[in-house]
């Protein structure tokens, strides 16, 4: 969920802390949600998006636009590899945007998401990326 509102981000982080302080908060880097999680002392896993395009400001292209989604898992794998190795992704406007990620999101509500994720995983593993669930440091 893209959270731009500081108060909402703080409420989400506080709620997670109240439920279980060992939970890991998944949040895009440099967002209100990531900052709120860190401020609450939560472990934050930076999230990058394999199946979505980015804007120059680092936000995801809105789903209302036809260029919001990536449909080719091989193209997505190449982009994810660059994000992991270089900390960069090319925006739809053509600019390199800084990103940092420890976890990769694939949206399950996209048609063909399961097949996309399988092929993405195969491509990443072929390139030496180790896929595993984040582990709590607490």
Q: What is the C-alpha separation between 27 and 48, in angstroms, rounded?
A: 9
pTM, full prediction: 0.87
pLDDT tens sequence across 21-33: 999 999 998 899 9
Average of per-residue pLDDT values in the chain: 93
| Among 65, 63, 67, CA closest to 109 | 63
In sequence order, the 6+-apart residues with CB closer than 8 A to the CB of 41 are 17, 21
**Contact at 8 Å (CB) between 70 and 51?**
yes
pLDDT over 70 at 2, yes or no:
no
pLDDT tens sequence across 75-126: 999 999 999 999 999 999 999 999 999 999 999 988 899 999 999 999 999 9
């Amino acid at each position: 969920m893209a959270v731009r509102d500081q108060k909402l981000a703080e409420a989400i982080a506080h709620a997670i802390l109240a439920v279980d302080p060992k939970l890991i908060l998944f949040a895009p880097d440099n967002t209100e949600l990531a900052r709120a999680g860190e401020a609450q002392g939560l472990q934050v896993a930076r999230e990058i998006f394999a199946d979505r395009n980015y804007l120059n400001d680092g936000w995801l292209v809105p789903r209302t636009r036809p260029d919001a989604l990536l449909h080719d898992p091989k193209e997505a794998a190449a982009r994810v590899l660059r994000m992991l190795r270089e900390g960069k992704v090319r925006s739809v406007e053509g600019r390199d945007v800084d990103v940092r990620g420890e976890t990769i999101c694939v949206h399950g509500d996209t048609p063909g998401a399961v097949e996309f994720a399988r092929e993405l995983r195969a491509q990443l593993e072929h390139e030496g990326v180790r896929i595993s669930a984040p582990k709590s440091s607490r």
